[in-house]
Amino acid sequence: MAPPLLLLKDVRLTFGGQPLLDGAEISVSAGERLGLVGRNGSGKSTLLKIAAGAVEADDGSRFVQPGATIRYLPQEPDLSGFATLRAYVDAGLAPGDDPYRGAYLLEALGLSGDFPTDKLSGGEARRAALARSLAPEPDILLLDEPTNHLDLPAIEWLEAELKSSRSALVLISHDRRFLQNLTRTTLWLDRGRTRRLDQGFAAFEAWRDELLAQEERDRHKLDRKIEMEKDWLRYGVTARRKRNQGRMRALETLRETRRNARRAQGSVQLTVTEAESSGALVIEAKRVSKAFGDRPIVSDFSVRIARGDRVGLVGANGAGKTTLLNLLTGALPPDEGTVRIGANVAIATIDQRRASLAPDTTLRDALTGGRGDTVEAGGQTKHVVSYMKDFLFAPEQAGSPVRALSGGERGRLLLARALAQPANLLVLDEPTNDLDLETLDLLQEMIADYPGTILLVSHDRDFLDRTVGSVIVAEGDGRWVEYAGGYGDMVAQRGRGIDPRASAEPSAPRERAPAAAPASAPARKKLSFKDQHALETLPARIAALEAEIARLEARLADPALYASDPAAFASASEALSQAQHERAAAEDRWLELEMLREELAAG
């Protein structure tokens, strides 16, 4: 096995008297693809900061191979001190890095390099930080929730970019499909310690469940042994006590082990408060249209949603998903057409912007509406503290203001409040934001068991596939089309995923116009920035690969190599095959671009 580029051993860190990390370890080798997973609050982001050198642990060691480069994407990047996005991204480059790569990444992420950093939204700042992390192509990329604030086209673009990267990756993400597609090793941070699975995330959940089941069996055996020892102590022969002090000490050791055993964190308890059943027809929209100025958001759209349907709305950022949701629920009047809401429809909503949570409101008041200390949930009356525990809030948080909560805690609070409202139509606008994988599982089960109707907006492909029966997709120019099945079924029917240019919202041009202008032209008149850059740099890349191939062939021609070092022979053979494959791909790409350049010049 290759020596690690980055190694953390026996890392310990305590917050507020409680151990957050208690012997955690990370080992990252060249080219490794590692997913770091765990519950919200388990310390994943803190461990990644220690790996990046941004936080110092109380104890433990951190080793980085001399000369190895590391880039870290934090959840809350700081762009202060830089006038424009281009200046911010270029400042992350080192001598010898490709000076054009930052501009390409900003364009691909829908940002303009000339845009001032002091006018950015949180999502734009995150995308700029992502471009800065990727631009140098470092030896190790540490990415904390890289898909946050990205729409489906951007997520799929980022997947392709990371797949083609030679950097080793350590990813924190709650996007299952993203983790499945990119990871080959999984590191589970649980109760302060890490456990390593040398397989990708696709195998993680079955492995985790088996570990937890074995842990429960071991705990049950320990409890039984303690009871047996207590029984012996109570009824054993008095005359034998002096000869069995060792057995009594063993009992105390067993008790100490049982007291110190840290159980896995509890699960969220999702209970839905059901309203009276709605009529068979929940929503009927006929030839609905909506425009802002001269920009069509929805054009001549019709749909019929019946009781029990689960409908997903998908599209690029700015496509108008929230606008369509507001039209269908009656929150926004259409310019043309009609929307009819069925009989006895009671709506509960989770807002993607968390805007319905006043920052100074306490958790108690947010759940009770400021009326008493009880919550009606699932047909039962619960004390607010008991209801909070169902969503993994500590009793002492009852008086805490909403502004003190993390993103994941706000998401759980909105779930708790929405599910306590009597409703038969749940409107979920990005409900998966900041939720950990276990909570997503429970939300998925709740949706499956929910007897009412659900409208869901999400960029989480796996969650859509697991929950909805049809998806309504933005096709561009205000056109929306419904497809049967989940996201994967829609892609199979359309033959492609979401179009990144199918954007209609008036807020979109601020950040998209500079990058989107060339693609929106009716016909290409010149090569794109990315293609022109590739055409210019590919010859040097091909020459470098040819030199590497010649070096490897000369090494393999040595008849003594295999006899003296079979592992080195195998490694060189594999490297030669990879270099030959890359050279062929580079030559094909250069020829394709050169032919395109000639066609455009002739046209």
Binding positions for ATP are 38-45, 315-322
d(CA 521, CA 274): 50
| Of 463, 455, 468, 450, nearest in space to 426 by CA | 455
Cβ atoms of 28 and 5 within 8 Å: the answer is: yes
How far apart CA 168 and CA 152 sit, in angstroms, is 24
Neighbours of 59 (CB within 10 A): 12
Q: Please give the C-alpha separations between residue 413 and each of 149, 212, 428, 446, in angstroms, as whole numbers.
A: 20, 27, 14, 16
Decide: helix, strand or coil at residue 68.
coil
Rama region for 38: left / alpha / beta (φ>0; ψ in -120 to 50; rest):
left
Angle (deg, nearest 10), helices 407-420 and 437-449: 20
- 222: number of Cβ within 10 Å: 15
Residues 6+ apart with CB under 8 A from 247: 229, 232
d(CA 384, CA 382): 6
**What does each C-alpha distance from 446 to 203, 274, 346, 349, 439 come to in angstroms?**
24, 12, 18, 15, 10
Query: For 576, how many CA atoms within 13 A lie in the half-sphere containing its CB?
Result: 15
DSSP letter at 242?
A: G
Sign of the CA dihedral 510, 516, 520, 524?
positive
Which one-letter DSSP state was computed for residue 121? -
Helix (H, G, I), strand (E, B) or coil at 300: strand
Strands (E), 107-234: 140-144, 168-172, 185-190, 193-197
d(CA 104, CA 114): 13
Phi-psi region at 309: left, alpha or beta (left = phi > 0; alpha = psi -120 to 50): beta
CB-CB contact of 462 with 177 (8 Å): yes
φ/ψ of 11, rounded to 5, equals -80, 130
Where does 85-195 have alpha helices with state H? 85-90, 101-108, 122-134, 152-164, 176-182
595: left (phi over 0), alpha (psi -120 to 50) or beta: alpha
Angle between helix 101-108 and helix 529-556 axes, rounded to 10 deg: 120
Sequence-ordered list of residues with C-beta below 8 angstroms from that of 249, at least 6 positions apart, any chain: none
Cβ atoms of residues 429 and 402 within 8 Å: no
Consecutive H or E run containing 338: strand 336-341
The two three-digit tokens of residue 83, written as one number: 């006038």
- Strand bridging mode 70-73 / 140-144: parallel
How far apart CA 103 and CA 100 sit, in angstroms, is: 6
Q: Which positions make up the binding site?
A: 38-45, 315-322
